[in-house]
Structure 1
């Protein structure tokens, strides 16, 4: 397999996906494909005792993650909280995770790689890749997994930023609509309408967008024909 070509294809597809859930699904698919693995998934940590699996190739990934929470150990948890990458060649004999390893073997997992998904300022979770055979992954596979994780992290962060920008633009539009309603109703300037919104926001201890949205919704309700 041409790893460079595969990673390039994934990067293009990630740009087209647009949303974090779609991107994560794409990443786990490519992780299983490029590393000749049996399963792959994303772990997002809420706390040491609570994690989510927003993307997985099969339900067994959820089980593997749940077992790490149950035993408070495992390569995926450590990838999030410790070094960037952890690999185990045989979960049944790896002394780093004496409880999780045998439990993972019971659901068919023998090898695993966990890689942190994080920017310099924020962590998202870990990319976790599993195989049913021992010694399934090499040091070069670790590097490929880290490249996959880097692509995923960059795409995830960019998509999240874009979603935040969209929300900000929508909020600004709503505030502008509310200003227009107030200007027309009270024959005031744009600045005066904005100050009016701010005073209501402070008096009622509500976000400016929430106050503006209520004014727009009320205007729309009053504009509907009465039955």
Structure 2
């Protein structure tokens, strides 16, 4: 395949994966990897423990690598992007895996690291039922597909983190708004109150804010916050806000 044609193919792969819904990305990767070699089996392991595969045999090969702690899937990573296996049944590098895998049809195999920079996200494995069946074209295309997969997975991760950050900011604003309205305090003081509860309860600040915004009440040793009061434990409430409840 000419370099321009191959580059166009890789670009189309990227477009396809970017356009896919996040939950459909693994299936799309399997379909694309399966096109690299006729009759190939494919598995995609995403750390820590998600495995997607085109067939039961591919899943079993992943399981055997974990069971024996041998195999190319345990070798590839940021410093070694791909590993070739000419014939898995006779490979002397992993004798336990070679013996255990003889009941499987997998023979020739190439494993690719799904990695970008320092982020090692998983492995992509393509295997054939014939020894020496996966050539250099499969290697080049497999490396490209694994890299595109890593880019898309990291993009989805960043999008999710951004959404969570926006949600957290919205929740924080709601919680501060409750305290500002009910207690007549500034946004800065409202934030200090939430921070005090977070520290005393050893709870993330966003969780404290979410609880207050959702239930109208949150408490920690030394302070109770609800929509109407800020009260130290043990003191009776008379219906009036008591901001002194946050004193150390």
| TM-score, scaled to structure 2 | 0.80
- Verify: 1:66 aligned to 2:69, yes or no: no
What is the number of residues matched between the two proteins? 216
Matched residue, 1:49? none
List alignment gaps of at least 5 residues for structure 1: 47-51
List alignment gaps of at least 5 residues for structure 2: 218-225, 228-248
Matched residue, 1:126? 123
Give the CA deviation at 1:63.
0.4
Matched residue, 2:204? 207
Match of 2:11 among 8, 11, 18: 8
* Bigger shift: residues 81-90 or 132-141: 81-90
Q: Deviations over 1:39-67 (max 9, x none)?
A: 11112354xxxxx3432112222100111
Give the CA deviation at 1:37.
4.3
User: The residue matched to 1:25 in structure 2 has which SS?
Assistant: helix
CA–CA separation in structure 1 for the residues paired with 2:50 and 2:71: 15
Alignment of 1:103-122 (within 5 A): 103-122=100-119
| TM-score, scaled to structure 1 | 0.87
Q: Deviations over 1:201-223 (max 9, x none)?
A: 11221111111111111249x99
Give the CA deviation at 1:196.
1.2
CA–CA separation in structure 2 for the residues paired with 1:45 and 1:162: 19
Give the CA deviation at 1:104.
2.2
User: The residue matched to 1:43 in structure 2 has which SS?
Assistant: strand
Larger radius of gyration: 2
Give the CA deviation at 1:120.
1.5
Pair 53,3 (structure 1): closer, same or farther in 2 beyond 3 Å: farther
Please tell me whether the aligned partners of residues 17 and 23 of structure 1 are also in contact (alpha carbons under 8 angstroms).
yes
Please tell me whether the aligned partners of residues 41 and 53 of structure 1 are also in contact (alpha carbons under 8 angstroms).
no
Matched residue, 2:26? 24
Match of 1:38 among 37, 40, 58: 40
Which structure is higher in helix share? Answer: 1
Please tell me whether the aligned partners of residues 78 and 115 of structure 2 are also in contact (alpha carbons under 8 angstroms).
no
Match of 2:167 among 165, 170, 174: 170
Larger RCO (CA within 8 A; separation ≥ 6): 1
* Bigger shift: residues 33-42 or 63-72: 33-42
